[in-house]
Amino acid sequence: MTVEQVTADVFLPATYARGVPYARFRELRDESPVCRIGEPAVGPWPPGPGFWAVFRHADVKHVLRSTETFSSHLGATQLRDPDTEADLHFVRATMLNQDPPGHSRLRRIVAASLTPRAVRELEAVIDARARALVDGVAGRGEADFVALTAGLPVQTLAHILGVPQEDGALIYDWANRIVGYQDTDYALSDTAAPEALTPMGREALARRPAPRTRPDGHPVNPRSREALADMFHYAHALAGRPVPGSVMAIMREGGLTRDEFEMMFFLFAVAGSEAPRNALPGGMLALLDHPGQFALLRSRPELVPPAVEEMLRYWSPVVHFRRTAARDTELGGQRIRRGEKVVVFHPSANRDERAFPDPDRFDITRSPNDHVSFGFGPHFCLGAHLARAQMRALLRAVLDRMPGLERAGEAVRLTSNFQNGLKRLPVRW
């Protein structure tokens, strides 16, 4: 059995349906901190060429900041290679898949809308929406915490994009289909009721492509233009009637190409929901499983900000991101050739003993907390301030309105090697 076969467990989506393999990550950090991982076929998805996996905190930060050596543009940032050259060309238009200076140009266009000051101006809206969501279920005494929290990023993104709230279900479905495509419950997400949508939303829904396969029998890439026809139809329709001051209005005036505009909308509408949608339920599960820490937070609500940081470290919302070696290099004692995939594992970096004392301990007072859940370097998540604001708002609302919150059943994990998410978390109070 080859090393790649031995370590392929950290690639397989089924592994993460059972739980993030923290013990395996620890072994690899100690024994093979940079090593080759195989990409076996998964269901209808074909095998890939394999990649270099990076597990230590310092090495992960080195890869993420060294854009001249580890490129986001050459092969894009998803672990799976795009199916065709056309698909690769298309996804390269997004800011996520650019290197400086192209990345810097795109980032500048929208950065002003997500600065700490801009997010502070949104906090009253975020707080009100978080409290309304919690108030809506507070009298029931039980809820699915995943369903409860999913509404906040959808409503927040709709607000900053200028999307009518009636069309928020479209954002929810797009995110499910794109980031949860490895899970059968999410891959065909279809929660948007036509009668509840705006006319613009109904037009987009009518263009939602049916599940399709390529001539070779493999599924159509969920991140291809073909698979996202409904999203992009909606984006162009919305651009024709932008809300003044919205991100959509800024994008319209920013001189973006057609591909850049579509992929910027993709980035906001989909990637913008990942951190709060995954880290809130996951972080709440950590609190429920550590009652002493939950009791401390209830007694000292001023600890909400550091608690949010520990939730993000302990439950990294994203499992990995990919780079491509732009030149021959060496990392962790391994020789990496130009063109080879290099993939950093955030949950491993966030539990690295070299960076965090007692890293498997959930500690809401942890300081400093140098987690990499929002990345590092030029690609540090543009929406980090917004994600943190949403997490703080919902956590405060829960503390105020859900006394005695506890688990009411087993948590159900998302099947995904990319998103560290829950599908259900039954709670009662």
pLDDT, residue 368, reads 97
pTM: 0.95
Radius of gyration of the chain (CA): 21
pLDDT, residue 43, reads 86
Q: What does the DSSP assignment read for 299-355? A: H-GGGHHHHHHHHHHHT-SB-EEEEEESS-EEETTEEE-TT-EEEEEHHHHTT-TTT
pLDDT, residue 6, reads 54
Q: Could you tell me how many helices (H) and strands (E) the chain has, helices first? A: 19, 12
- Asked if 37 and 53 count as a contact pair (C-beta separation under 8 A), the reply is yes
pLDDT, residue 112, reads 85
pLDDT tens string, the chain, 429 residues long: the values are 455 555 789 999 999 999 999 999 999 999 999 999 999 999 888 999 999 999 999 999 999 999 999 999 999 999 999 988 999 999 999 999 999 999 999 999 999 888 898 899 999 999 999 999 999 999 999 999 999 999 999 999 999 999 999 999 999 999 998 888 899 899 889 999 999 999 999 999 999 988 777 788 788 888 888 889 999 999 999 999 888 888 988 998 888 999 999 999 999 988 888 889 999 999 999 999 999 999 999 999 999 999 999 999 999 999 999 999 999 999 999 999 999 999 999 999 999 999 999 999 999 999 999 999 999 999 999 999 999 999 999 999 999 999 999 999 999 999 999 999 999 999 999
Length of the chain (residues): 429
Phi-psi group of 268: left, alpha or beta (phi > 0 → left; psi -120 to 50 → alpha; rest → beta):
alpha
Q: Residue 420 and residue 279: Cα distance in Å, rounded?
A: 8
- What are the angstrom distances between the C-alpha of 147 and each of 108, 133, 277? 34, 10, 9
Q: Residue 356 and residue 225: Cα distance in Å, rounded?
A: 41
Give the distance from CA 361 to its chain's centroid: 23
Sign of CA dihedral 418, 420, 426, 429: negative
- Asked if 231 and 203 count as a contact pair (C-beta separation under 8 A), the reply is no
Q: What is the DSSP letter of 287?
A: H
